[in-house]
Amino acid sequence: MPKGIYQLPGVKNEPVKSYAPGSPERSALKQKLDELNKGGLDLPMVIGGKEVRTGNLHDIRPPHNHGHLLGHYHQGDKSHVQMAIDAALKAKPAWEAMNWESRAAIFLKAAELIAGPYRSTFNAVTMIGQSKNAFQSEIDAVCELVDFYRYNVKNMVEIYGMQPNSSPGIWNRMVWRPLEGFIFALTPFNFTSIAGNLGGAPALMGNTVVWKPSRTAVWPAHLIMQVLQEAGLPDGVINLVYAGGREAAEVVFNHREFAGLHFTGSTAVFNGMWSTLAGNIGRYKSYPRIVGETGGKDYILADKTANAKQVATAITRGAFEYQGQKCSAASRAYIPTNLWEEVKQHVTEDLAKIKTGVVEDFSNFVNAVIDEESFNKLAGVIDDAK
């Protein structure tokens, strides 16, 4: 048992590197992009700490260069989802009994690895695999994920410190227990940081996790898993499975030990899962916690005294950074009539200057959308507008 009340290292936001011409980080990233573009990927699932290969291979291709085969990942099925659940439940007693300082140390170590020796790798994988430019990748795959892991620990300590008042002669103490069962983390393609956090946050609090990433973001998920293992995460605490969404949900949502859903994705998918869970509520050992972040219609509202150029920049960057593939992307704007003509002119000029192309060319601001389905959907919208 610990014989001390430990203080956390100081927590602060990870600084964003510039990747300016001639900078060491730019040179290192360029080298890593060249290295990883050579391909040869063979990505297994990770269940109970073991690599699981099925031979059912699915291609991994860059969205901006889909003629280039980077490698494959091993697709799983319902049996592998069940294996992941079994592994999570097996690991649960030892993990939730581990003192919080040891759990915290694992995620703080992972943060240091991502911010340090793995920085170029995380950026290159996210750039190639999800078609993000260097800046978009840096603020997501490195800085935000590092901040999640560090501030999660800080927030955990604050939560554990929330203790009840005690009456005279009584010492009231509160224990913050993990949930009774396993957590299902269902993560999106558009943020590597969210992919690492939806399973990482509940695991930090003593829960064990079944993690199903988006089929278009298997590569960064596998990298996150590697780093967590290197940082000391015990086998079975987080189990990475590449199964179809409906297959995974059918197994998970019918399991008595299902304890919580941590999700980022579309509103329609989240609504469907919530309906399923409501219909199954009598099956579960306890009431499952349901946490979801979904898309919305983010807006820009300008006052009549606003600077037209600043408003135009907000529209251009808010709508088109990372090809608009963010839940926070601007999709509507309310502009006063006295500003509109000037704002429109600036936006038109800005859009004409934006370069589009591959991520390896750092002058490209906009890259590719994630897959053919997304491309066809957007092309249809453009055609309708014409």
Angle at 191 between CA 23 and CA 101, to 5 degrees: 90
Both tokens of residue 93?
């007693």
Q: Does residue 10 sit within a domain?
A: no
pLDDT at 2: 67
Question: Is there a contact between 153 and 204 (Cβ–Cβ < 8 Å)?
Answer: yes
Asked if 302 and 288 sit in the same domain, the reply is: no
Q: How many CB atoms lie within 10 A of CB 147?
A: 19
Asked if 78 and 110 sit in the same domain, the reply is: yes
CATH number of the domain at 306, please.
3.40.309.10
Q: Please state the domain count of the chain.
A: 2
Range of the domain at 85: 35-62+71-163+177-294
CA dihedral (213, 37, 73, 137) in degrees, to 10, reads: 0
The side-by-side arrangement of strands in the sheet containing 71-74 is 41-43, 71-74, 57-60
Q: Which of 306, 366, 377 is nearest to 135 (CA)?
A: 366
Asked if 232 and 353 sit in the same domain, the reply is: no
Query: Which residues of the chain, if any, have pLDDT below 70?
Result: 1-2
Q: Rounded to whole angstroms, how far apart are CA atoms 72 and 125?
A: 14
Q: 253, 274, 294 — which closes off a domain?
A: 294
Asked if 271 and 325 sit in the same domain, the reply is: no
Place of tokens 């605490």: 237
Asked if 264 and 343 sit in the same domain, the reply is: no
Q: 239, 273, 294 — which closes off a domain?
A: 294
pTM for the model: 0.95
Q: Does residue 16 sit within a domain?
A: no
Just list the catalytic residues: 293, 327
